[in-house]
Each structure stands twice: as C-alpha cells, then as structure tokens.
Structure 1
Amino acid sequence: MSNIDLIIEERAADIGKFLVGRLLPFRQKRMVGPFIYIDHMGPVKLNERSNFDILPHPHIGLSTLTFLFEGSITHRDTLGNEVDINPGAVNWMTAGKGIVHSERTPEHLRNSELLMHGLQIWVALPKHLEQMDPEFFHVTAEEIPAWEQDGIQFRLVAGEAFDRKSPVPVYSKLYMLEIKSSSHQQVTIGEHLYGESGLYILDGGVESDGNEYGPKQMLVTKDSTLCEFTIQADSIIYIFGGEPLPEQRFIDWNFVASDKALIAEARQKWIDQKFEKIKGEEDEFVPYPSFPKK
C-alpha cells in the first residue's frame, strides 16, 4: 500500500478467560469506515478444563460479525437463535435498540482439545438505524462469494466490492475481504475499493515502498483507491473498509451509540437486569464493569 497513513500493532486485551489481540479502536484511529472494533482471538488451545464461555451480555447500536479460522462457537440470543458457527461462516447479529447473547464452546466439543482462532468485529450502525429492532443472520461458508484473479484467491466476507455483494445483510457501504496468495506478487485493487481501508496481516507479509510488514499488523490507508502492495508467498490478509459514518461514535463496554444518553440508558437497564433473558440462561450474565473505560 503506497499510501500508508498509520500502522496499528495488535495490543493484548483481556476479555475474561484469555487474551486477544486488539486492533480497533486505537487511540489515533477510533474507526476504519464503519468498523469500530476488531479483535483477533487466539489461536488458543481449549480443553475440558478451559472452554470458551462468554456469558450473556448486551449490545446496542452495532452489528457484530464473528468469523472463525479454527474452532467452533455456539451462539444463543434473546431472539431465540441457537447456532454453531464454524470456520468460514459468518454470524451477523444486529443489536439495534438492544439484544443479549452468549458465546460458548459447543456441548459436543466441551471435553475435546481444540484450537479457537478467529476475528470478532463490531460495525457501528448508521444513526437512523441505531434503535432498530434486533436481527440475527447466519451465512454459511459456501454462500460467501469466492473467486480467483491473477493467481490470488479472494473471498468477500461482507459488504460490496469487485462488483460483487456478500449475502451478509449489512446496513452501510462497507467491505471485508479475505485475500490469499501462494506466490510473491503485486496486488493492485484500489479501483475496487472506496472510503477508508485497513489491511490486516494474519499470515505471511506484505511489502510497500521498500518496507516489509508482517503478522499482527494493520496498515491503514490515506486513500483506499490507491491500494497497491506486494503480497508475499503463503500469505493471508484481510481488508476492512468503507464509507465513514458522519457522526462520532461513543463506546462504553458493549454499547455503541452516537448519543451518550442512549448508552447511559442501556447501562442502567443492564445494571437493573431489565434486558430480556436468554431462555435457559436466565441466571447467568456478565456484570457491568465496576470501572468503565473512559
């Protein structure tokens, strides 16, 4: 990418039972397009003594996108959904005015040894949809648009790009692309992109203007339409981007909104345990943190 504006290194963040690598938000770049939160989970080894268990917790004002490379997670929510997400599929949950969900190792794998590895992503909703009714969609790996171009493998995980559209029902102009290459070659894709872009290196590396970048780095462009770089052999990268939202977004714990009053209302509602409960998980929940981040 010949117009790199910022290099973001993964920072360790504690989400309960294990650490993740946080990419967004970053102090110098709170969002890339409508993407407001990106965590790289793992790879972490799980077994019968250490399963993945994120207890019921709430969200407002955003859509969550869960995308796994390895492992499996059972998603349950207050809309009554219960589905296992496996590698390559997309769980897309739109919180809107409020939803509660849990994420756990599936029952049939709880006594097994397995790796958990993937991305947890939040996409802020446009202001006029922040209070929409919550929704949930599961898109299988086979439904995700995939193609090969000049020896490079592409998958359009979400959004629109390359004159293609992912079936994931997004609410703003965005894209999440997976790019794999087995050979060392030049990549020029700026004409297919728009808005802001962030390039995250999962495996391998990329080269730009004589500099080399490797895993656990995200490169943010000044202008996505100039996106050009050299991808190294056996590399996997993800490009997140799209049109920025015009209003500032605030984050408090799991809540996102353009109006702090909406966050304050949701926070008190959760403290008072007035959110709807997940059937079968009525007595479990993640408490609101004692010392919220500013």
Structure 2
Amino acid sequence: MSHSGMIIPERSRDIGDFLVGRLLPFRKKRMIGPFIFIDHMGPVTLGPERYMDVGQHPHIGLATLTYLFEGTIEHRDGLGTRQGIEPGSVNLMVAGRGVTHTERTPEEMRKGTVFTLHGYQIWIALPKAQETMAPAFFHTAAGDLPQWKTPLASYMLICGKAFGKESPVPHYSELFLLEVKTGGKADLNLAEGVQGEIGIVVVSGSVQACATEIPVGSILYSKAGETCKISCGANTHLMVFGGEPLPEERFIHWNFVASERSKIEAARQAWKDQTFPMMAGEKSYIPLPESKSPLKN
C-alpha cells in the first residue's frame, strides 16, 4: 500500500433490532470495485428475546451476497426461494429489475435456542447491461468453493476470480471476494493474485500496512495497480474484496442501486404503491423511508 491508501472505519448503524457495523459506502469512498455496500452483522447473541426478523423489502440493480461465520439465516424471496444459509456457504440473490425478500431466524431455531450470529451482508452493483435482468437466486455449499493453502495462509474464494482460480458463485463483472486466515505471522502481497481495487477487512487479529496498525473491523483500501503489502499477526482473519470499478457512477437510496436516478425513483414509487413484484403469501412490508432528498449520493 502506498501513502494514497485509506483506512475506512466501521461505523455503527441501527437496522431495527440490530446494531450492525457499516463499512461501505463511506463518504470519501463510495465503492471498491463493484462492491457498493458492506454491513458487518454481529457477533450477536440471539435467543428467545430476540431473533432475526427482517421483513419483506425490495432491491434493484444489485446482487446481495450473504456470508456467515456463525449462525443460520433463512432467506425467502419473490422467486419462491426458501434457503437456509450456514457458515461457509454463499447465498447470492441477483435483484436485477426488481425482487423482494425476507431474512429470518429459521423456525426450528426459535424453540428457545441461543446462538451467535456473525457474518457479512454484501451488495455488488450490477453492470449497466445487467441492471434490468430477470432476478435470480443461487446457493453454493461451502465444499464447492475453491480452497487452498500456502506456507503463510489459507484461502477460500467466495466469489469471482483470484490467484488463477474462479468461484462457482455467479459474478457479472471483474471482481473477487476472498476469506484469508493466517496461522503464524505472515507478510502478504495480495495484489499479486487479484486485479483492480482492493479492500481488506480485518475481521480479527492484527494487520500493519506502511507502519500503521489497521484497527480490527476497518477496511484497508488500496488503489488498482499498487502493491498491497500487509504484515499480519498470528491467527489473523481477513475478508479481501474488490475488482475493476464500473465505468458509470452508481446512485444508492435505501435498498436500491442504479446507474440512473430515474430507475430509483420508479422503484421507490412502485414500492410505495405496492405494485413492485411482491412475495406470495408474505404479509410483512417494510415501508419506504421518507427522505427530503432521496437521491443524494
């Protein structure tokens, strides 16, 4: 990392029953590659007093990627999908022109079970040509993701291409999302194996770059084409993501992402009028948040 690198801190955001750590978007850096939104969920203890219940809400223009270290979430959507996600597996929902979904603690875990939920909710902006594609859902089991080890670290490729490997999780632009774990101390140059902008989330452990300690929970950002050398302490856990930036600006409002403001305005109106494609038999409905200037980026 050169001196033009940036440290993006995790900021607390209240999303109803949960406090999450918002990593992207950040005021000085809206996107890293095509990644436009990253929330760190937990670690939080769930139990009889509080389970996860995110009611029906809409998306356009993006793919949502859920990746867990601990716990279970049941995803349901307007395509008829009902899919639990466990640690290490991947749920990818491509919103395209519009889809709704819910995220809840599964019924079988609501019988007094106490458990930890910990993971990441990630939004990947779709390229302009795919923004209005038909919605789709993909689930990939942990055992199907590329995994490999070097003398310094172990790697799992969650999505995209890195180090000459490709994940089976669909992707629509040049991107990568990796989980990296060190055993002992390790000096890594991640730019050797990936292309484009690089974001490194310090999940746990310790990382130094340019003689600067990177706080746990923060993102270290490195521009495309720069070396990205970091020194990791023993038992450091990283999420590494990024890729080639999309050529056009992206607007983001609530759960909507688009290259044109008019697409967001149309989605807002459709959700308000409940003419958006809804889930069959789902009674929950998260209303559109009122905002004086909804399309300010």
Inter-partner Cα distance in structure 2 for 1:3 and 1:80:
48
Alpha-carbon distance in 1 for matches of 2:210, 2:26: 24
Aligned residue pair count: 293
Task: Name the residue aligned to 1:254.
Answer: 255
Contact 1:3 1:223 in 2 (8 A): no
The answer to whether residue 59 in structure 2 is matched with residue 59 in structure 1 is yes
2:5 partner SS:
strand
- How far the C-alpha of 1:215 sits from its partner, in A, is 0.8
Q: CA deviation at 1:152?
A: 0.8
Alpha-carbon distance in structure 2 between the residues aligned to 1:97 and 1:240? 25
Paired residue for 1:197?
198
Q: What amino acid does structure 2 have at the position aligned with 1:173?
A: E
**Which moved further from structure 2: 76-85 or 40-49?**
40-49
Structure 1 letter corresponding to 2:110: R
- For 1:223, the equivalent position in structure 2 comes to 224
Q: CA deviation at 1:80?
A: 0.5
TM-aligned CA deviation for residue 225 of structure 1: 4.7
- Structure 1 runs (4+) greater than 3 angstroms displaced: 1-4
Contact kept in structure 2, 1:193 and 1:224, CA below 8 Å = no
Contact 2:99 2:278 (8 Å CA) reproduced:
no
Q: Could you tell me which residue of structure 2 aligns to residue 240 of structure 1?
A: 241
In structure 2, C-alpha distance between the alignment counterparts of 1:175 and 1:216, rounded to whole Å: 19
Q: Which residue of 2 aligns with 1:145?
A: 146
Q: Secondary structure at the match of 2:246?
A: coil
Which residue number corresponds to residue 34 of structure 1? 34
Unpaired segments of 5 or more residues in structure 2?
Answer: none
TM-score by length of 2: 0.96
The answer to whether residue 172 in structure 2 is matched with residue 171 in structure 1 is yes
Q: Percent identity?
A: 49
Gaps of 5+ in 1: none
Once the two structures are TM-superposed, the CA of residue 3 in structure 1 deviates from its matched residue by 5.2
Please list, as runs of the form range in 1=range in 2, the aligned pairs for 1:1-294 lying within 5 A after superposition: 1-2=1-2, 5-111=5-111, 112-281=113-282, 283-291=283-291, 294=296
Query: Cα offset for 1:212?
Result: 1.6
Q: Specify whether residues 27 and 247 from structure 1 end up closer, same or farther in structure 2 by C-alpha distance, changes over 3 A only.
A: same
Q: Is the 8 A contact 1:42 1:116 kept in 2?
A: yes
- Aligned equivalents of 1:143 and 1:3: distance in 2? 38
CA RMSD of superposed structures (Å): 1.2
For residues 187-219 of structure 1, the C-alpha deviation after alignment (integer angstroms, 9 at most, x for no partner) is: 123221111111100000111222222311111
Aligned equivalents of 2:211 and 2:259: distance in 1?
40
2:196·2:223 contact (CA, 8 Å) conserved in 1? Answer: no
CA positional deviation for 1:11:
0.5
* Alignment check: 8 A CA contact 1:188 1:228 kept: yes
- Give the partner amino acid of 2:82: E
